[in-house]
């Protein structure tokens, strides 16, 4: 099973983010956009995992969220990985809630101290119409996109299909 651990977003916030994606699509860039129902914040990508390891992963998640209270998460700003000359991923930033996300992510992967709080909205296939996209991003004023309360961490299964990935929650873990 292909697994990852993430924060799911409420439908209101997903709708706001998807409205932004719809505006960005007008740039006609070569980007594979994340589907509205798949919008999330990844805390740890696990990858292909034998079923007999799932119980161990669940225990790790419970340890990682121990003592973490529900918190507010706000989305604002945008960025790209690697950079605007060689873009690979277009993302939205996390403002409020960043410390809690980093704490959980670092507990899930103690050896990884460079967790970057972000919400992927698209993956670049090429740099076609990049200038037009940049202009639209500047005009959108993404200082504050929306917020939600984070009350759970979710273990997802990801099935890759020809039309895109399908994410299925395997288990949800409540915060304090």
- The CATH number for 114's domain is 3.90.1140.10
Nearest alpha carbon to residue 75 among 45, 130, 136, 120: 120
pLDDT in tens, the chain (176 residues): 999 999 999 999 999 999 999 999 999 999 999 999 999 999 999 999 999 999 999 999 999 999 999 999 999 999 999 998 999 999 999 999 999 999 999 999 988 778 999 999 999 999 999 999 999 999 998 899 999 999 999 999 999 999 899 999 999 999 99
Asked if 49 and 65 touch (Cβ cutoff 8 Å), the reply is no
Query: Catalytic site residue 103?
Result: no
Domains in the chain, number: 1
Sheet holding 31-33, edge to edge: 31-33, 118-124, 87-94, 71-82, 146-150
Q: Which of 3, 40, 44, 137 is catalytic?
A: 40
Place of tokens 């970057």: 116
> What whole-number distance in Å separates Cα of residue 18 and Cα of residue 119?
12
Query: Catalytic site residue 118?
Result: yes
Give the range of the structural domain holding residue 135, as residue numbers without chain letter.
Answer: 2-174
| C-alpha separations of 63 from 55, 100, 106, 156 in Å | 13, 14, 11, 17
Q: Which of 92, 118, 119, 147 is catalytic?
A: 118
The tokens describing 128, both together, are 């076609």
């Amino acid at each position: 099973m292909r697994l990852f651990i993430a924060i799911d977003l409420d439908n209101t916030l997903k709708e706001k983010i998807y409205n932004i994606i719809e505006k960005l699509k007008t740039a006609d860039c070569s980007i594979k956009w994340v589907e509205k129902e798949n919008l999330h914040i990844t805390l740890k990508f696990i990858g292909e995992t034998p079923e007999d390891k799932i119980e161990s992963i669940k225990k790790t998640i419970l340890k990682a969220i121990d003592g973490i209270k529900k918190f507010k998460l706000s989305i604002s700003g945008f960025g790209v990985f690697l950079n605007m000359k060689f873009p690979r991923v277009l993302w939205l930033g996390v403002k409020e809630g960043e410390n809690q996300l980093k704490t959980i992510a670092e507990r899930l992967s103690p050896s990884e101290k460079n967790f970057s709080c972000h919400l992927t909205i698209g993956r670049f296939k090429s740099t076609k119409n990049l200038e037009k996209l940049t202009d639209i991003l500047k005009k959108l004023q993404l200082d504050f996109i929306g917020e939600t309360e984070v009350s759970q961490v979710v273990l997802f299964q990801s099935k890759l299909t020809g039309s895109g990935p399908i994410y299925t929650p395997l288990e949800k873990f409540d915060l304090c």
